[in-house]
Amino acid sequence: MRARTQLPGSRESAAQARAFVATTIRSWGDDRPMDDILLVVSELVTNAMLHTGSRATELTVAQTGGAIRVEVGDSSSTPPVPASQLPRSDDTQGRGLLLVDAVAEHWGVERDDRGKHVWAEVN
């Protein structure tokens, strides 16, 4: 199963993305805990909004075997780079991909002619 939506390049996009993913997964009859999935959604969408200059992003959620795959597409071809060191406790950025890496089984980046898709799979 797969569902896709477009998100505007605004601060509300992460909340809209979480609501879309939660509603979609529940509509598939999947009642798994969603904390890790929604954390991944928030971080990937927020990264796209903050770091790419994209006016909009495309969010795809898919059920693949036992995992949920989340993909966020944007118009930048520059791949995200995890922080090279742990952020200080008062830093306001630098944790996103570290969190994704901690809770996702796998994550990565796929480039295409329109930019890239950053994806993560959570069991």
32: three-class secondary structure by DSSP: coil
Q: Which fold has domain 2-83+92-122?
A: Heat Shock Protein 90 (3.30.565)
Residue with more model confidence, 95 or 24: 24
Cα–Cα separations (whole angstroms), residue 90 to 44, 93, 95, 100: 21, 9, 12, 20
How far the first Cα of the chain sits from its last, in Å, is: 15
Q: Scan for tokens 């477009």, then name that residue.
A: 6
Q: Which segment of 49-53, 59-63, 64-68, 116-120 scores lowest on mean pLDDT? A: 49-53
pLDDT in tens, 65-99: 899 999 999 988 888 776 566 656 565 555 578 88
Residue with more model confidence, 82 or 34: 34
pLDDT in tens, 98-115: 889 889 999 999 999 989
Sign of the CA dihedral running 94, 96, 102, 104: negative
Cα–Cα separations (whole angstroms), residue 15 to 8, 39, 43, 67: 11, 11, 11, 22
Q: What is the pLDDT of residue 97?
A: 81
